[in-house]
Every structure is written in C-alpha cells, then in structure tokens.
Amino acid sequence: MIIVIMGVSGSGKTTIGENLAEFLGWEFADADDFHPQENIEKMKAGFPLNDTDRWPWLQKIQDEIKRNLQENTDLVLTCSALKASYREMLLVNEESVKLVYLKGSFELIEERLKARENHFMKAGLLQSQFDTLEEPTDAIVIDISQSVEDIVQEIVKSISSDLG
C-alpha cells in the first residue's frame, strides 16, 4: 500500500509522513526530493511554480509510486498535490494508493512556515499554495491542529481496514 500525504507547504507533511512511516515500519519518500534544481531555485527566489514546472516533477513521483507498487513495497509519500489533476497522476490504483489531506488554517500554517529555517519554501509563497489548492473530496481529511501522535493514530485508524 502507498499512503500519499498531501497539503500546502507547512501543513506538516514531512513530520507526519516520517512519523507514520516509522510507526508502520514502511518506507518514506518526500516529493520535495524529486524537484529538479530549477524548481528549487525558483521557489528560493520567491516565485511560485506553475504547471509547466510541476509536470516533470509529478511524473517522477508517479514513476516512484508505480515502482513501489510493482515491488510490493509499502510507502508513505508526502506531496503537496494541490490540484485534482496532480492527484489523478498520483492515485494510479485506488485499491493500493490512499490519500490523506492535512488540513489547517492559513494562520496556523503561516506561523509554522515563519518558524522554519533553511527550507526553500518561504512563508510569502503560502498564499499561492492556498490559491492553487483544490481540496480533495476523496481523501481522509485530518485536522492539523492536533499533536503529531494523534494525527498518526487517526491516519492508522482510518486505513486499518485496508492494512489486512
């Protein structure tokens, strides 16, 4: 199984994803690691990515999902996946790929981003993320104002019937 954890930058995808993967004993991958250097430089300079920037990145992530499914490797993958069309690329098998949406207020996420150090995504780009976001209707929705432990447990509970 693959769990794709989505949300805007600062919603806690990496923290939740790493903790969930550790709890389940699964592999972990962060979609940020699949960005070409040009995308990282663009975001560091304070410019939001556009679809032209994102398609090659999403293709790499889709390839990673397919590889893990083919190898029968359980994986927690974090990816902003802000638009429905992006998620369509990633949800290649609805039986084996589950979507978790980390949802929070602009104010809470902005506070988190301002506290970050050494990350290419700056707080000033948060509005562009919220502007791009098309909230999913087919995801497990998690309120990010909870503790990391509570969020992980809520996800595990939500997918427990799929774990077998």
Q: Where are the domains of the chain?
A: 22-163
CA–CA separation, 23 and 131 (whole Å): 33
CB count within 10 Å of CB 17 equals: 27
Residue carrying structure tokens 């690691």: 33
H-only helix segments in 2-121 = 13-24, 37-44, 51-70, 84-90, 106-115
C-alpha span between 144 and 152 (Å, rounded): 11
pTM of the model: 0.89
Which listed CATH number (2.60.40.10, 3.40.630.30, 3.40.462.20, 3.40.50.300) goes with 22-163?
3.40.50.300
Nearest-angstrom CA–CA distance, 155 and 6: 13
Cα of first residue to Cα of last residue in the chain, in angstroms, is 11
Per-residue pLDDT of the chain (164 residues; tens, 9 = 90+): 999 999 998 899 999 999 999 999 999 999 989 988 898 888 788 787 788 998 999 999 999 999 999 999 999 999 999 999 999 999 999 899 999 999 999 999 988 887 766 554 554 678 888 998 999 999 999 999 999 999 999 999 999 887 76
Phi then psi dihedrals of residue 136, to 5 deg: -75, 150
Separation between Cα atoms, residue 158 and residue 138, nearest integer Å: 13
Backbone angles phi, psi at 30, to 5 degrees: -110, 125
Nearest-Å Rg of the Cα atoms of the chain is: 15
